[in-house]
Amino acid sequence: MKLFLLGVVGAGLGLLAQAPRATVSSQVGTAILGFMGGSAPLELRAILGVFGAARISQPVAVPRTVTRLYLSARQQYALVEQDSGAPLAVWSLDETVLLDRQAGDDGLVAIAGALPHPDLVAFSPRGDSVALYSSASRQLQVISGMPNRTFLKKTPPLASSMTITMIALTDDASVVVTKDSVGEVQISSGDTSWRPFYGAYSPLAWAFIPKTHDLIISDFLENAVFLIEQADAKTARAVLAENCPPDQLAVTSTGETLAALDSRRSILWTIDLKSRISTVTKSAQNLDSLATLRNGNTFLASSRTASPTLLKLSDGGVVLATATVGR
């Protein structure tokens, strides 16, 4: 679970001086803005410092038993798969992960009964809940109380025999929306059985607004972004933007601004969800990913050809500042 603007983001970004390679002493005690992956599957680096003077840390030592990790929304923890049949676990991403040591599995907290090797993992907007899907067992699990008081919530048996390809989940874990391999969209709320989602949608990306049941959908057939208030009710959609097919969506922690990225064309949108005014910017960089950092109104826009960029948004959908992350 999905920024921007100012004239030309790519050309207007101010470059920071390259910071020296971080050492243990300079990492520990420094504020953690968030995390980002690396070129290797288990490579994880912290973004340290403050906005405008941020740098990327040395690789974080991942626990030895971990074979795959999923960085949560808002990046307070990671969900990790382990080897040797060990259970799915929560790994807290606090300051201790910056210590220069090979981490054991002492910091991992197992989630009893969770699918150990899910094919699909989807976090709620704040990371309070997570959905797991296994195609082999045709199971979809919802885990609430993340990351410290985890418990499994029951979900009805899946209605479709097709493979699930997309999942959206509310923070309270009470509403789940799925899309399968033939494009059918289903919804389950509370303990109700799965039913077709009201309205005809072809989601390219979607995201719930934090702490609500309001769903935002980027529809690739209609080339537009829609807001469906109370997605578990039969409510009419509102158009947020047209001629707008982003494949990644993110919402600020207040739920007032939508950030959207079309990674194929490197186009960024921000949409004020109150006024429903959108702004679009074509970036000179080849942006390929968008992630919400810890404070909920700062985003990391990564590029294949340039240094990562931090984007700070206001509640009105305005980019307050941009900064390049040093190394």
Mean pLDDT split into 10-residue runs, the chain, 327 residues = 32 30 54 89 92 91 93 95 92 87 75 95 97 94 95 86 96 96 94 90 97 97 96 92 93 92 90 89 81 91 83 74 78
Please, are residues 217 and 183 in contact by the beta-carbon 8 Å criterion?
no
Q: Is the dihedral of CA 16, 287, 211, 224 positive or negative?
A: positive
Residues 118, 37: Cα–Cα separation, whole Å: 20
Q: Is residue 202 part of a domain?
A: yes
What phi, psi does 12 have (nearest 5°)? Answer: -90, 0
pLDDT number for residue 10: 31
3-state secondary structure the chain: CCCCCCCCHHHHCCCCCCCCCCCHHHHCCCCEEEEEECCCCCCEEEEEEECCEEEEEEECCCCCCEEEEEECHHHCEEEEEECCCCCCEEEECCHHHHCCCCCCCCCEEECCCCCCCCCEEEECCCCCCEEEEECCCCEEEEEECCCCCCEEECCCCCCCCCCEEEEEECCCCCEEEEEECCCCEEEEECCCCCEECCCCCCEEEEEECCCCCCEEEEECCCCEEEEECCCCCCCCEEEEEECCCCCEEEECCCCCEEEEEECCCCEEEEEECCCCEEEEEECCCCEEEEEECCCCCEEEEEECCCCCEEEEECCCCCEEEEEECEC
Q: Is residue 269 part of a domain?
A: yes
Residues 231, 214: Cα–Cα separation, whole Å: 6
pLDDT number for residue 9: 31
Q: Is residue 1 part of a domain?
A: no
Closest CA to 13 of 276, 308, 269: 308
Q: Is residue 2 part of a domain?
A: no
Q: Which domain holds residue 59?
A: 9-324
Q: Is residue 249 part of a domain?
A: yes
Residues 324, 14: Cα–Cα separation, whole Å: 7
pLDDT number for residue 103: 58
pTM higher than 0.85: yes
Residues 143, 169: Cα–Cα separation, whole Å: 10
Please, are residues 169 and 1 in contact by the beta-carbon 8 Å criterion?
yes
pLDDT number for residue 126: 96
pLDDT number for residue 303: 81
Other CB atoms within a 10 A radius of the CB of residue 161 amount to 8
In what order do the strands lie in the sheet containing 287-292? 287-292, 298-303, 309-313, 319-324
Residues 218, 204: Cα–Cα separation, whole Å: 6
CATH number of the domain where residue 230 is located: 2.130.10.10
pLDDT number for residue 41: 86
pLDDT number for residue 35: 95
User: What's the one-letter identity of residue 307?
Assistant: S
Q: Is residue 4 part of a domain?
A: no
Residues 205, 219: Cα–Cα separation, whole Å: 7
Residues 158, 140: Cα–Cα separation, whole Å: 7
Rounded alpha-carbon distances, angstroms, from residue 51 to 31, 257, 278, 326: 10, 19, 25, 11
pLDDT number for residue 3: 35
Q: Is residue 3 part of a domain?
A: no
The domain total for the chain is 1
pLDDT number for residue 14: 29
Q: Is residue 224 part of a domain?
A: yes
